[in-house]
Amino acid sequence: MTKTQIKCPQCQAVVSWQDNPHRPFCSERCQLIDLGQWADESYRIPGAEPGMLSDEEMLLINNEETKH
């Protein structure tokens, strides 16, 4: 059976997928670097700014408020 080789998303080192306790990373160091980048918000998932509502959401809220 051939072992699957992947590139570490952090440092681009080629590593084996099977029997790799740090996958998809090559090492604990690369895992921690990636975690730190999420923690300091270097990575962001695209979407609306926190606290910003779409026009549709505002209409729903306004309709609910006028019913009471």
The CATH number assigned to the domain holding 21 equals 3.30.50.10
User: Nearest to residue 25, comparing CAs of 37, 12, 44, 38?
Assistant: 12
Average pLDDT over residues 12-31: 95
pLDDT tens figures, 42-57 = 888 777 666 777 788 8
- C-beta of residue 23 within 8 angstroms of C-beta of residue 12: no
Predicted local confidence at residue 50, as pLDDT: 64
pLDDT at residue 19 is higher than 80: yes
Q: Which domain holds residue 54?
A: 5-67
Mean pLDDT (the chain, rounded): 87
Count of domains in the chain? 1
CA distance 10 to 31: 8
Q: Please report, rounded to a whole number, the percentage of residues in the chain having pLDDT higher than 70.
A: 91
Global pTM? Answer: 0.61
